[in-house]
Structure 1
Amino acid sequence: MSTTFAELSERIGAVGDIYARVHNITRTPDWYLLKLTEELGELTAEHLLLNGQARPNKDGSGGTREALENEAADLFGQFVLYLRANEIDIETAIERKWLRHLDKSADGSRPPVTAP
């Protein structure tokens, strides 16, 4: 089943609401950004552990592909929450900032426009 980004965002938003309610967290603008930083740190730790560049956890957890993927999912989910909280239309921003470069040729010039 294919899910649009908007649908995924709604579902992630619902989970974020549940999390905040269950843990009695007041989400402020700073909280969203700080939470992103926390999740990036956890992804970094798993990456280093998986690649043998960090000491194993004392309890033996982590250092698996699944743990890395779970931390990537946490980071992505928190990023979606950040976008929602800050009313950022990421699809429009990606089009404007990144995808416009697809119209350029390899040497950076625009390809010639031809009539249809």
Structure 2
Amino acid sequence: MSATFRELSDRVGQVGELYARMHNIERNADWYLLKLAEELGELTAEHLLLAGRAKPNSDGSGGTREALESEAADLFGQFVLYLRANEIDIEAAIERKWLRHLDKYVGLDAEETASGI
């Protein structure tokens, strides 16, 4: 059974709180954003390793599908923490910014869509 985004967000938030307490991390607005950048860098590194476009780690780790998925999970988890810290209702924002286009473009062929009709 799949959790709703709110349930997942709450669980990720709990893990974030535990991690911050265990490691004595004081999080602020900058920390959340910088942590996102860090995790994106780690995902990028795994992507390049998996694609054979980066040198393997000196210890031979990384470059696997599991490592890529783990970094994607880290990035997503940190993004959820960023949303929570900044009180962003991502579901409403996605509706407003992305999904409103469905009504506009559903039924148009690719050429019409590309030309902005």
TM value normalised by structure 2:
0.91
**Structure 1 outlier segments of 4+, above 3 Å:** none
Matches within 5 A, 1:34-53: 34-53=34-53
Give the match for residue 21 of structure 2.
21
Give the match for residue 6 of structure 1.
6
Structure 2 distance, partners of 1:16, 1:39, is 14
Give 3-state SS (helix, strand or coil) of 1:73's partner: helix
Question: Post-superposition shift, 1:2?
Answer: 1.8
Question: Post-superposition shift, 1:78?
Answer: 0.1
- Structure 1 unaligned runs (5+)? 110-116
| RMSD, aligned CA | 0.9
Deviations 1:8-44 (A, max 9, x none): 0000000000000000000010000000000000000
Aligned length: 109
Give the match for residue 114 of structure 1.
none
Give the match for residue 62 of structure 1.
62
One-letter code of the match for 2:60?
A: G
Identity of aligned residues (%): 80
Question: Post-superposition shift, 1:100?
Answer: 0.2
TM value normalised by structure 1:
0.92
Give 3-state SS (helix, strand or coil) of 2:25's partner: coil
Give the match for residue 100 of structure 2.
100
Write 1 or 2 for the structure with the bigger share of helix.
2
Question: Post-superposition shift, 1:61?
Answer: 0.2
Structure 2 distance, partners of 1:2, 1:57, is 35
